[in-house]
Amino acid sequence: MTQALPTTSSVPAKSQVCVGLSGGVDSAVAAAVLCQQGHHVTGLFMKNWDEDDGSEYCTAKEDLADAQRVADHLGIELVTANFAAEYWDNVFESFLAGYQRGETPNPDVLCNREIKFKQFSRYARSLGADYVATGHYARAAVAGDGPALMRAADASKDQTYFLLGVNRDELASVIFPLGDLQKTEVRAQAKSLGLHNFDRKDSTGICFIGERRFRDFLARYLPAKNGVIVDTAGRTRGEHMGAAYYTIGQREGLGIGGQRGSENAPWFVIGKNVAANELIVSQDSGLLMQDYLVTTHLNWLADEPPLPSRVYASTRYRQRATPATLTLRADGALRVRFDSPQRAITPGQYLCLYDEATNTRCLGGGVIRSFGRHAH
């Protein structure tokens, strides 16, 4: 696939920019960089999850306090907005539906699409902003075919995977101030600027789950439905607490070690039979290696290429993108065949595509629906 070489998009001086302030060091430095560049900056703190369940795990109150300290230090206004209803309707309900189908959904991709680059953008425009900015490690650019999303300079922190679902038109008015910085530089800048959160630990996981056990949280919305664990020959190997609580490739927490007549080797989840409420396991980790997947309704962040087409592709965050070929199936779905087998491809997770020429431009992606392996 031939791609036009991108150029960094220019933002007019003294633009009105609304930056998402989360309370963390990344968004704080993003705001500081915009101020240093002379823009008129407003901070926006987004509350996406209600805490009326009395949970001590979601840190929204502490995050807001940190965001306010950053805004006060930089001398900018901080506005707050509650998108909890939109999050529930457009992200969380989809998250639950995915688990009910036996998938392992990724709410962060949906959150970026539906909240941070839809609701946030609309709200920012209502405040008079010309641009929105976030602390994501990515780069917005202009290519020969229009707005483009590029990998960040810090490969270890690159977050283009989480941005693959954003509407392409939004990229024309997005600024990623950290795109050319290393994480170490971001922390160093925060410290030199006197920002109180320069050494704050990076947030992990999803706010509405926090540090609690994932299974305990999910059980509140998807009650446990016990079933059997079977091997590939259909032999019962144990019981599970609900197939929704397990994911492809999982080996911990199965509780089926020491099986009579089996090797002293770990068991892996290799599939689910949702209709029969069965979890399928094997001690052959080679069964986790698949060389193609099927996806539908791709979100393109570049002009849709003629098919078949060559790309780089990854099936999870921080996975090294690998060469693959895209082809169109008769039913309109897209088949992605990898040059080499990939481990634990998981329905519900996202496929992320990059250009073949440089493996730098994010072309978009879609939800993984199924996978398989060709006979060799």
The set of catalytic residues is 111, 207
Which tokens go with 87?
């999050």
Backbone dihedral angles phi then psi of residue 16, each to the nearest 5 degrees: -85, 115
Counted residue by residue, the chain has a size of 376
What secondary structure letter does DSSP report for 206? -
Residue that has been written with the tokens 């999982």 in this structure: 250
Task: Please name the helix (run of DSSP H) or strand (run of DSSP E) that holds residue 183, with its range, or none.
Answer: helix 183-192
Picking from 10, 8, 29, the residue whose alpha carbon sits closest to that of residue 135 is 29
Q: Helix (H, G, I), strand (E, B), or coil: what is residue 116?
A: helix
Are 21 and 67 in contact, with CB atoms under 8 Å apart?
A: yes
Q: How far is CA 330 from the centre of its chain?
A: 29
CB neighbours of 237 closer than 8 A, spacing ≥ 6?
229, 230, 231, 256, 259, 267, 281
d(CA 189, CA 85): 36
Backbone dihedral angles phi then psi of residue 6, each to the nearest 5 degrees: -80, 160
Q: What does the buried/exposed string (b/e) look like for 258-291 if buried means 16 or more CB atoms within 10 Å of the residue's CB?
A: ebeeeeeeebbbbbbeeeebbbbbbbebeebebb
Picking from 57, 54, 55, 73, the residue whose alpha carbon sits closest to that of residue 65 is 73
128: left (phi over 0), alpha (psi -120 to 50) or beta: left
Which tokens go with 117?
């680059």
The partner residues of 231 in beta bridges, in order of sequence, read 281
Q: Three-state SS across 356-368?
A: CCCCCEEEEEEEE
Q: In what order do the strands lie in the sheet with 278-282?
A: 236-240, 227-231, 278-282, 268-273
Which tokens go with 33?
């960089």
